Amino acid sequence: MKIVKSVIERIINIYSNNPKLLLETIIIITIGILLKLYYPKIRGFMGEFWVKLELGKLPKDKYVVLNDIVIKDEKGTHQIDHIVISNFGIFVIEMKNYYGLIKGREFDDKWCQHLGKTKYYFVNPIHQNYGHIKSLSNLLKLDDKYFISIICFSNQAKIDAKCSSIVTQVEFLRNEVLKYRDIIINCNVNELKNIIISNNVVDKSIRKQHINDIRFKVNHNKELERNMICPKCGSELVTKNGKYGKFIGCSNYPKCKYIMK
Ligand SMILES: [Zn+2]
């Protein structure tokens, strides 16, 4: 206790003799706290920034890049991170700013992010992006064979994904787009761009509603899980013994592969 007291006294002494140092310390601590609080937001912002920068390097005469598009249709609103329109295809990019080890397969319901020993499950981004492609395909009245789905993770992630559709990282994103060289769409790229732009929801309240809808869905699913009901098919959730220990999954397996986080 004596040591603690003398250390505190010395600190008070140092700062009272040097108010400038005190101010600097307060500023550094405040910045540190703010960075910690807003870290996920900063990460997200930086991730989007790098993707925009990479896509911006595509030849402007051949590719049109659209960022953060919200399309509303009868199924609800779809928030699409990036769209690259070209005569070589329409690339629909879903950006996931996740790091750690990412594991998943094409037809899994959930993919898994491993951070050390902790696992976080998230909706299969290929399924999510397929919904986006469907909405664009309806809007542009173009068959979905003209759309190329790309799931893009941050460069820090380690990806272990077994699937035929493209799952990549920011640094390889542009090359993935450039791999497509056959002209498959014969219409004017700018016309397609204008259709998307004119249907893009810019109304902030609708955009906010989109986020609220997702939150409501998450809360609703949690409520069902608490009652041991599968949010996907309505069957009972049961405790199972897996390769890596116990987990809670749908009793309707293998028809339904729902696993509780
Ligand atoms: Zn189920």
- 229 CA to middle of ligand 1, Å? 8
Residue range 160-211, pLDDT digits in tens: 998 889 999 999 999 999 999 999 999 899 999 999 999 998 888 877 877 7
Instruction: Output the pLDDT for position 223.
Output: 77
Instruction: Output the pLDDT for position 205.
Output: 82
For residues 93-106, give the mean pLDDT.
91
Residue range 106-160, pLDDT digits in tens: 888 889 898 888 888 888 999 999 999 999 999 999 999 999 999 999 998 999 9
Residue range 17-63, pLDDT digits in tens: 888 888 898 999 999 888 887 777 777 778 888 899 999 999 999 99
Q: Exposed, middle or buried by CB within 10 Å (0-12, 13-18, 19+), for 21?
A: exposed
- 128 CA to middle of ligand 1, Å? 18
Half-sphere exposure of 186 (CA within 13 A, CB side): 0
Enter the pTM of the model.
Answer: 0.72
- 184 CA to middle of ligand 1, Å? 39
Residue range 223-239, pLDDT digits in tens: 788 778 888 888 888 88
| Residue where the block lists tokens 């990479």 | 54
Higher pLDDT, 68 or 261: 68
What angle (nearest 5°) sits at the alpha carbon of residue 172, between those of residues 170 and 177? Answer: 105
- 124 CA to middle of ligand 1, Å? 16
